[in-house]
Structure 1
Amino acid sequence: MSDKPERVRTGGRSEKVRVAVGEACLGFLAEGRLDFTTVEVATRAGVSRKTIYRWWPTHTDLLVEALSMHFRQVTPPDTGSWESDVRAFAEQIAEYASSPVEVASAALMASHRYPDFNKLVLGQYRPVIDAWQQMAQHAIDRGDANADHTPEAMVNALTAPLFMAPMMLGRRSSAEELEQVVGIVLAATRPHPAS
């Protein structure tokens, strides 16, 4: 017999509760708050405290639920073409990076006041970034992109400027900026002509 709490099942009421709790926690993060209480989450989500304590017994459990929901918003496209993948992915990242949750989380991390939160975010982000890099690796494998750069460098070149605009300029990347970033990445990864 396991002492671990029952996990939320997908589908039906359990899924609605999971979404409501995740969205409530994300709402607090968007406000720049890490100190939200279980009572506040229960009130905002419209669920009982007993339910939250049963499924998310610690504050970290609540943060993991919220962050995993947040990170799932960006699924790397797989259009079969590196160029269309890059364009679609850049649009997704520009929207995602300018969301209140992402901006507030980045500010909390940059403050270095919450090292445990930073570790948690980085740990949750790792599989997401791995999936993003797989998109670039698939392009190399198909011959759509050259192998001069690592998938990590390709993804960093595409995403870093799009995350920087909301953090540094307080706004989403413009259509012109997005097109410039896409153009630079596509030019740097263009397949070499056959010799």
Structure 2
Amino acid sequence: MRLQGRSAEIVELVLENTAEEFGRSGYAGLRVDEIAARSGVNKTTIYRRWPTKDDLVLAALHWISPYKHPPNTGSMREDLLAMLRGMAEAASTPKGLAIYRAIQIERAQPAFEPLLARLKVELLASRQAIFDRAMERGELPSWTDGALVGEVCFAAAFLRIVTVGQKLDESFMQALVDLIIAGAKNVTPRPKDGA
């Protein structure tokens, strides 16, 4: 069901305020009553749509995500570059950079672990679609571990943004993708555990 009019405006306002507050205060510091006040709605309005704080934060992070749906350009290389460019664009704003940093900081908080696990499942599914299509097109061997390839690629990008504090420039993104693809193409099948 697609929301329209005032309902859509309220949802966007709540998600925008939640994303900003998460970037500013982190998960532990985020208060639903403050989000409600900033958004001009009752707390019950928020809880009706998002029953838990985790649901609200996850929805906000998904809403601002630069890759809600995996790109499908017909080329794995271009799909990966499109996702990395989305990360670079998000990280180029103070809000986006604050959110990336908050995710990194909050990883150590036990209360954030269930939300992080849900976020990881969504991200892995989004990335896996790219590798599944690449294997169907013959761009990668059929035994490729897409989850591992995606983790290596996007962890390197995340590390550069958050830990190293550098921008994802075009030359870095292209070099990273080319390295990832070359490595993935040259991996031999691994025996099954216990084999």
Q: Normalising to structure 2: TM-score of the pair?
A: 0.78
Q: 1:165 to 1:49 in 2, by over 3 A?
A: same
Work out whether 1:117 is the aligned partner of 2:115. no
Match of 1:39 in 2: 33
Match of 1:21 in 2: 14
1:36-55 superposed Cα distances (whole Å, 9 cap, x missing partner):
32331122223234423443
Whole-angstrom distance in 1 between the partners of 2:51 and 2:143: 47
Between Structure 1 and Structure 2, how many residues are aligned? 182
Match of 1:105 in 2: 103
Whole-angstrom distance in 2 between the partners of 1:156 and 1:58: 28
Matches within 5 A, 1:1-195: 10-34=3-27, 35-71=29-65, 73-96=67-90, 99=96, 100-109=98-107, 112=108, 114-147=109-142, 149-190=144-185
Shift of 1:190: 4.6
What amino acid is aligned across from residue 158 of structure 2 in structure 1?
F
Give 5+ residue unaligned stretches, structure 2. 187-195
Shift of 1:26: 0.7
Contact 1:97 1:103 (C-alpha < 8 Å) held by counterparts: no
Contact 1:93 1:159 (C-alpha < 8 Å) held by counterparts: no
Q: Normalising to structure 1: TM-score of the pair?
A: 0.78
Give 5+ residue unaligned stretches, structure 1. 1-7
Sequence identity (%)? 25
